[in-house]
Structure 1
Amino acid sequence: MTDQDVPLWRLNLLRAFYVLITVGLAVTWGPGMLQHTDPWAQRNGVLGSLMIAVSLVCLLGLRYPLQMLPLLIWELTWKTIWVLVIGYPLWLNDAATPAVTANLYACLMGVVLTPLVLPWRYIAHHYFRKPAQRWR
């Protein structure tokens, strides 16, 4: 399967998803990165920097939506892990704080929407069926 086999509507859907991630992360983490207190920086500085970096790298998805698929696969993977290992068990045991509940809903949205956007046949061909690159 080549890049040409992925329909234009799917490429544009991927582009829209990259924009959604970029805007969402910038709105969520941008203000804290620009105007922060020392305690905020100590608790959230590394995570904020990571999230803003992901937001900026997602912009490459506008130009290269298929080449940036590993970023969306990573998004789906970490959100699924967080929901299954942290969010859902806390919710199930009535131990979820309002912040955990908000994160749970946000991550669930990503776990539901991302698989709908991903071109699974292309992913299967390029990441599972295609021969691996040589090791030596």
Structure 2
Amino acid sequence: MQNKSVIDNEGVDTSRDNNEYDSIQNIAPPVPLWKTWGLRIIFAAMVIVLGSKQLNYILEGASEWSNWRGLGHAMLFTLAVLAIGGVFRPLAFLPIMIYEIAWKTVWLVVVALPPWLAGQEIPAIVNAKSSIIGICILMILIPWRYVWWRYFAQPIEPWRRKNQVSNNK
């Protein structure tokens, strides 16, 4: 018997009760559809805007970059490529959005805040105003109850398999 989950249209087989992980999907907190679509829009914007911008940088001439600048462009382009999955499965790709919040917050606090407090110009690597706005929008769109349920409230995966008793003696 197949039970369709409300969350992210995943099919869940509930006929097997021999594993403690089988029934976990049935108790997932509901995620409003507007949050799912909001995340899809943000993921699509990452793919289109960030992906095209980083691809242009890469095609223009990576040989002129310092190692750190090349690392940054490579990581941002990879982030845009991974965001393609988030367009189709936004809840499964939530860690990308959490990473996006984390790295932009670190950048704002460590890189942008000290010069701003000193009255100097903020480095123009990332737009500080759009980063703050983006973080605020993501904080609203991310279904935090679902994140807590999915990544913290469930039992952890076993570190090793239990020895199975064999009936063949």
User: What's the TM-score, normalizing by structure 1?
Assistant: 0.85
Matched, 1:56 2:60: no
Higher relative contact order, chain-length normalized (CA < 8 Å, sep 6+) = 1
Q: Supply the distance in 1 between the matched residues of 2:53 and 2:63 (Cα, whole angstroms).
A: 18
Structure 2: which amino acid aligns with 1:67? A
2:140 equivalent in structure 1: 116
Residue-pair matches, total: 135
Larger CA deviation: 17-26 vs 75-84: 17-26
1:103 equivalent in structure 2: 127
1:3 equivalent in structure 2: 7
Unaligned runs of 5+ in 1: none
Q: Which of these residues, 66, 69, 93, is aligned with residue 68 of structure 1?
A: 93
1:29 equivalent in structure 2: 54
Q: Supply the distance in 2 between the matched residues of 1:50 and 1:3 (Cα, whole angstroms).
A: 29
Q: Supply the distance in 1 between the matched residues of 2:153 and 2:70 (Cα, whole angstroms).
A: 40
Structure 2: which amino acid aligns with 1:111? I
2:149 equivalent in structure 1: 125
Unaligned runs of 5+ in 2: 1-5, 9-29, 161-169
Give the match's secondary structure for 1:3.
coil
Seen in structure 2, the aligned counterparts of structure 1 residues 105 and 28 have a Cα distance that, compared at 3 Å, is: farther
Q: Which of these residues, 104, 107, 110, is aligned with residue 79 of structure 1?
A: 104
Q: Supply the distance in 2 between the matched residues of 1:32 and 1:41 (Cα, whole angstroms).
A: 13
Q: Supply the distance in 2 between the matched residues of 1:72 and 1:57 (Cα, whole angstroms).
A: 11
Seen in structure 2, the aligned counterparts of structure 1 residues 94 and 107 have a Cα distance that, compared at 3 Å, is: same
Aligned residues of 1:79 and 1:110 also touching (Cα < 8 A): no
Name the structure where helix makes up a greater proportion of residues.
1
1:15 equivalent in structure 2: 40
Q: Which of these residues, 94, 110, 113, is aligned with residue 88 of structure 1?
A: 113
- Runs (4+) of structure 1 exceeding 3 A deviation are 40-43
Give the match's secondary structure for 1:89.
helix
Q: Supply the distance in 2 between the matched residues of 1:95 and 1:79 (Cα, whole angstroms).
A: 20
Bigger Rg, which one? 2
CA RMSD of aligned residues (A): 2.3
Percent identity between matched residues is 28
Report how far residue 63 of structure 1 moved. 1.5
